[in-house]
Structures are given as C-alpha cells and as structure tokens.
Amino acid sequence: MVGTMAASKPIEPEAGSGLPRWQLALLIGTPIVLGVGAAYLWGRNRNGSQAGSRGKDQPSERNEERKTPEGSEQDNMSLLDKAQLAKNRGNKFFKVGKFEHAIRFYTEAIILCPKEQKSDLSTFHQNRAAAFDQLGKWIEVVEDCTKAVEMNPRYVKALFRRARALEKLDNRKECLEDVTAVCILEAFQNQQSMQLADRVLKQMGQEKAKEKYKNREPLMPSPQFIKSYFSSFTDDIISQPLQKGEKKDEDKDKEGEAAEVTESSGYLKAKQYMEEENYDKIISECTKEIESNGRHTAEALLLRATFYLLIGNATAAQPDLDQVINMQDANVKLRANALIKRGSMYMQQQQPKLSSEDFDMAATIDPRNSDVYHHRGQLKILLDKVREAVEDFDECILLRPDSALAQAQKCFALYRQAYTGNNASQVQSAMNGFEDVIRRFPTCAEGYALYAQALTDQQQFGKADEMYDKCIELEPDNATTYVHKGLLQLQWKQDLDTGLELISKAIEIDNKCDFAYETMGTIEVQRGNLDKAIDMFNKAINLAKSEMEMAHLYSLCDAAYAQTEVAKKYGLKPPTL
Ligand SMILES: *[C@@H]1O[C@H](CO)[C@@H](O)[C@H](O)[C@H]1NC(C)=O
Ligand SMILES: *[C@@H]1O[C@H](CO)[C@@H](O)[C@H](O)[C@H]1NC(C)=O
Ligand SMILES: *[C@@H]1O[C@H](CO)[C@@H](O)[C@H](O)[C@H]1NC(C)=O
C-alpha cells in the first residue's frame, strides 16, 4: 500500500529545504510560502527582546567580569558586587573543570545577590545549572533553570539547558515545550535546538502511535481509495473484476459441484461483494472459503490478507500472505502478488531489507509480471534509489507498453533525479517527458497529477493549476487532487480562502481523506488557530493507514500543542499568516 500512494504525495518539502514536515507546520512563512520576509520580521521582533544568546557551556560573561571591582574596595562593595565576585570565582573553577567548587561559589552568589537583581540572579542560577549539567545532576539542572527562567522568561540558554535535562529525565512533554520556546526565540535558526525538537517529537509520536495503533478500531478506507489501490495491480487474479462471461465459466468448471454453494458463500461471493463495493463483508466470506478448504483457498487467503492490509491490520494479514507465498503449487501470479503486498507491508514497517527481498523473490518466480517492477520501482523511489527505480519502470513498460502509470512515474523519478542533481537540462527533458506522457495517455489522471507536482516545484503555478483541473475533470471523486490544488493556491497566490475552500471540498467528497485533514491542520497552525489545528490532526490520526503515518501525525499534533502551551506560558508565538 505504501507503494501505491508514495508517488502521489506531494514532493516532500524536505527535498528542497532540508526541513522535516513538522517544522514546516510550525514555521510560518515556511520557506515556500513566505520565505525570507517572515524570518526577517521575526528577527526584528526578537532583537528587541531580552533573549539571552547561547554559546558554549562556558558560563562566564566577560564584560560582567570587567565590571566587578577587584581587591582594594572590598569593604565598600555592595552585596551585588560581592555576588558577582563569587560568581567569577565560580566561573574560574568551572573553566578548569572543578564543578563542585564552582557550584559552591555560584550558591554563594545566589545567596548574596539582592532579590530585586533579577537579571543577575537568573544568570547565577543558569551558571549553577551549567555546573550541575556537567555532573549529570539533571534534577538540579531543571530546578536552577526553572529559577532562571522565572526571573527571565526569554532566557534561551536556560530554557535550552532545561530542555536537555528534561529529555534526560524522560519528561518529553515539558522538554518539547521548552525547546519549542527556544526554537521560536531563535527564529528556527539554530540546528542544535531544532534537532532536539525533532528528536523529541519523533519519540513522542512513535510512542503514542504504538499505543493507539494497537487499540484502534479497524477502519475500511473509502471506496475511491480501495478502487485506486486495486487498479495499481494489473497482472494479478484477485484484482480483476469478474467478467460476466467469466462467472459462467466458473460455474461450468464446477459441473459436478453444487452450484448453489458457490453462489451463496466463499470466494466468489466475496468477489461479488467487491464489485458491489460492499467491502465490509469480504473478509468473512473469504474466511468461509478458507475454513471449508474450498478450491479457491489460495485466492481467498490473498484477498483476505489484502483487506486486512486495507483496514490497517498487518498482524492479521501476515500469516495469510506467508501461507500463499509458501503454496508451491498455487498459481504463480497469486504468490507474486502476495510477495508484492508483503514487501510493501515491510516497507511500511520500515524494514527495507525484508521488503527488497520479497520484491526480488517476486521477480524471480514471476519475471514477466509487470506489477512486480511497477511496485518495486516505487519502493526504490522511497529508498532514494532513483536510477534503479527508473530501470524497474522501464522493465514494467517493456512488459506492458500501455501502462500509463509506469510511464508517468518514470518521468517523475527522472524529474526527481534531475532536480536533486541540479541539472537544468535533465529537468527540462523530464518535463518534456511529462508532456509526452499526457499527450499519449490523455485519460491517465496520475500523469497530470505528477506533472502538476513537478510544475509546482518549478514554480510554473498557472500550468500546474491547469493540470489539476484536468485531473478533476477525469476523476471528480478523487479528494486528493483537491488538496493538491488547494496547496497550490497557497503557494502561488498566498490565497488562504481559496485553498481552504478546496480542502473543505476534498473532505466533503471523502470524509476519510486523512491527507485533507493533515493539510488543513497545517494551515490552521500557520494561521495561529492552534485548537482547530489540533482538532484536524486528531481527525487525521484516527484515519492514519499505518503506524508510521500515525506517528508522523502525532508529531504534528504535539508540535501544535506545545505551541499553545508556549503561547500561554511565555506569550510567545511564531508569526502567523
Ligand atoms: C487520486 O489521485 C492521485 C493523483 O493525484 C492518485 O495517486 C490516487 O491514486 C487517486 N486516489 C484515488 C482514491 O483515486
Ligand atoms: C488484527 O487482527 C488480529 C488477528 O486477527 C486481532 O487479534 C486484532 O484484534 C486485530 N487488530 C485490530 C486493530 O483490529
Ligand atoms: C546534465 O545532464 C546531461 C545529460 O545527462 C549531461 O550530459 C551533463 O553533463 C549534465 N550536466 C551537469 C552540469 O551535470
């Protein structure tokens, strides 16, 4: 499944900007939408704030050292001066790695310092936290940083130190809040804090998804999704609709058997439900065929596994697929198809090695099966092996010259290769390739959709928009296209209203379109409507088709949630549209 949808997702912003998706959700004025402008505005706000700069772990601040009077006038020194002196001693010990001693002097500084000297006091606490940090005393680090931040809420150094200590203490939620504040204060310019945010979001997302995915209700995708999934297989048996004649042939085949049994239960019944789009009944009909050890057991196992995959239950699908793959005397097309599906499942579980093995085995047992190459090509794209992907698409085209999908995906692979290789002439020839594909296959919606993505990438927005209109004309029921077109309006004209209208339309067409909810959530984050965003992300989470996708959505949701907390606590917000 991962394979079929892979190429239809938009070109990941990661490819161009090096930013993970959650960051784009946080960062308004994503480099794409507003670019430098927002960063500039935000930078100006920040200069006016008292944001402490962050350097190495060295807590000393030279100019303060110079301010401190030394020696002679000790008696006339104010308490603050004495505190500074103690701090400077602490710094000296810190520099030579005597952290226990440093802590003693920082403590003295804290005790001496008049309570109204908040800025100094917060520095002393931050310095002591740095020393505790060196000793791995995380609880003390958190306590001191908390004091420092209470007195100076925009103290980046203290916030970041606390974030790291909280991570060590496995308090991811609060860690995320601190690091979010840091990222906002630094206008997302510091790699170190961005990496921490990324790491914590991923861990939280994975943990939550693991729990939630296990306990979720099975969910049948929309009929559009199911049809599109099956249409990505052309060389297998179970995907083919029963032709009118074929049904009769089946009955003729079984002259001796009781025809009414065939009619009322089992695999053929399941196939009939499939044609009627009555998908909820398919698994149980297949089970009847399997339990009665009917003549279509292998087909029934494969079809049941396919629906287990579609409802997102890989645990249930795997034994069925294993069984079909091991049936040496079953039709080789069934076994190859089972291998493709198990391979895609492994890919979804982030096991690329097992996945590749299955695809390779499928190519060995059924070397003339075009589906194997088509799906393996998509896998290679996910693995960033573009050259191998192109070879697979070529093989598929050779076996099935009318495969418009493979041609379009090949163009897309070539485009990505050219784009990442920064080769303008190759980019141009990939674009020409797309023109060729849509001329030769004018009814293949995917061709227009992929071309539109490449065009958007090349900032040829007007033409991209025309291509999406073609898709909509060909497949008015495909919600995904409306989302892509909506995103295009944002990028092209910064037209939020039209963008949101199109995405709402997508949800109207298919209220199980997780991509639409995710996108809408991202836009709401950018508009500063965090509650609405969280609501959208939660809807998408409930529809996620794999644990990995769910983990990613949790990251987006947690990032938005952390922002609401940061806004409440510190009054900090990234700029909004
Ligand atoms: C919708 O269109 C996209 C191309 O934009 C295609 O990849 C996908 O398979 C289609 N989905 C459905 C459910 O028809
Ligand atoms: C997946 O299938 C297994 C085995 O059939 C079952 O025990 C489990 O409850 C199912 N999980 C979900 C989420 O439906
Ligand atoms: C771009 O690709 C073309 C054709 O593959 C090749 O001949 C040329 O050397 C490449 N140019 C650069 C700058 O890599």
pLDDT in the model for residue 11: 34
- pLDDT above 80 (res 35): no
Measured from the CB, is residue 313 less than 6 Å from ligand 2?
A: yes
Ligand 3 mutation target, pool 387, 417, 423, 431, most atoms within 8 A of CB: 423
d(C-alpha 357, C-alpha 373), whole Å? 13
- How remote is the C-alpha of 247 from its chain's centroid? 43
Q: What is the DSSP string of 188-203?
A: T--HHHHHHHHHHHHH
Average model confidence (pLDDT) across the chain:
83
pLDDT-above-90 percentage for the chain: 62
Residue bearing tokens 């040496």: 328
pLDDT in the model for residue 577: 54
Nearest ligand 3 atom to alpha carbon 423: 1
Measured from the CB, is residue 410 less than 6 Å from ligand 2?
A: no
Determine the average pLDDT of the residues in 109-138. Answer: 96
pLDDT in the model for residue 567: 84
pLDDT-above-70 percentage for the chain: 82
| Predicted TM-score of the model (pTM) | 0.78
Q: Which two tokens stand for residue 326?
A: 């091991």
Q: Domains of the chain, with CATH numbers?
A: 71-214 (1.25.40.10)
Q: Which ligand is nearest to the CA of 478?
A: 1
> 165 vs 129, 148, 207, CA distance in Å?
10, 14, 20
- pLDDT band at 16; cut points 50, 70, 90: very low
Nearest ligand 3 atom to alpha carbon 426: 2
d(C-alpha 281, C-alpha 128), whole Å? 66
- pLDDT above 50 (res 5): no
Ligand 2 mutation target, pool 315, 323, 542, 550, most atoms within 8 A of CB: 315
Determine the average pLDDT of the residues in 318-329. Answer: 96
* Among the listed residues 488, 421, 410, the one whose alpha carbon sits nearest the alpha carbon of residue 450: 410
pLDDT in the model for residue 506: 96
- pLDDT band at 321; cut points 50, 70, 90: very high
Determine the average pLDDT of the residues in 401-414. Answer: 92
Q: Which residues contact 197 (CB under 8 A, 6 or more apart)?
A: 23, 176, 179, 180, 183, 559
Gap from CA of 423 to ligand 3 centroid (Å): 6
Give the amino acid at 374: H
Does 570 or 520 have the greater pLDDT score?
520
User: With the C-alpha atoms ordered 488, 491, 493, 499, is the resulting torsion angle positive or negative?
Assistant: positive
- pLDDT above 80 (res 94): yes
Q: Which ligand is nearest to the CA of 232?
A: 1
Does 326 or 214 have the greater pLDDT score?
326
d(C-alpha 151, C-alpha 155), whole Å? 9
- pLDDT above 90 (res 452): yes
pLDDT in tens, 495-530: 888 999 999 999 999 998 999 999 999 888 878 888
Nearest ligand 3 atom to alpha carbon 429: 4
Q: Which two tokens stand for residue 248?
A: 């009769």
Nearest ligand 2 atom to alpha carbon 218: 14
Give the amino acid at 152: N
Nearest ligand 1 atom to alpha carbon 477: 14
Q: Where are the alpha helices (DSSP H) in 152-266?
A: 156-168, 172-185, 191-215, 223-231, 244-253, 259-264
Kindly list the protein residues whose Cβ atom lies closer than 6 A to any atom of ligand 3. 423, 425-426
Q: Which ligand is nearest to the CA of 387?
A: 3
- pLDDT above 70 (res 257): no
- pLDDT above 90 (res 231): no
Q: Which two tokens stand for residue 182?
A: 């840091």
pLDDT in the model for residue 525: 83
pLDDT in tens, 141-151: 999 999 999 99
d(C-alpha 84, C-alpha 68), whole Å? 7
Q: Is 565 exposed, middle or buried (0-12, 13-18, 19+ CB in 10 A)?
A: middle
- pLDDT above 60 (res 26): no
- pLDDT band at 575; cut points 50, 70, 90: low
Q: Which of 146-150, 251-255, 356-360, 417-421 has the lowest mean pLDDT?
A: 251-255
Give the amino acid at 208: K
d(C-alpha 134, C-alpha 94), whole Å? 9
Q: Which two tokens stand for residue 517?
A: 């909810």
Q: Which residues contact 473 (CB under 8 A, 6 or more apart)?
A: none
Long-range contacts of 295-299, Cβ-Cβ distance < 8 Å, separation of 24 or more: 295/254, 296/266, 296/267, 296/268, 298/324, 298/327, 298/330, 298/331, 298/334, 299/237, 299/238, 299/267, 299/334
pLDDT in tens, 38-67: 222 232 233 333 334 444 444 544 334 434
Gap from CA of 426 to ligand 3 centroid (Å): 7
Measured from the CB, is residue 216 less than 6 Å from ligand 2?
A: yes
Gap from CA of 346 to ligand 2 centroid (Å): 18
Residue bearing tokens 């039709």: 331
pLDDT in the model for residue 216: 85
Kind and range of the H or E element at 29?
none
Q: Which ligand is nearest to the CA of 304?
A: 2
- pLDDT band at 252; cut points 50, 70, 90: very low
Backbone angles phi, psi at 208, to 5 degrees: -65, -40
pLDDT in the model for residue 409: 93
Q: Quick count: other Cβ atoms within 10 Å of Cβ 215? A: 6
391: alpha, beta or left? (left if phi > 0; alpha if psi -120 to 50): alpha
* Among the listed residues 332, 267, 276, the one whose alpha carbon sits nearest the alpha carbon of residue 306: 267
d(C-alpha 219, C-alpha 458), whole Å? 37
138: alpha, beta or left? (left if phi > 0; alpha if psi -120 to 50): alpha
pLDDT in the model for residue 299: 94
d(C-alpha 148, C-alpha 195), whole Å? 23
Determine the average pLDDT of the residues in 538-546. Answer: 90
Residue nearest atom 13 in ligand 3 by C-alpha distance:
423
- pLDDT band at 434; cut points 50, 70, 90: very high
Gap from CA of 398 to ligand 3 centroid (Å): 26
Determine the average pLDDT of the residues in 452-467. Answer: 95
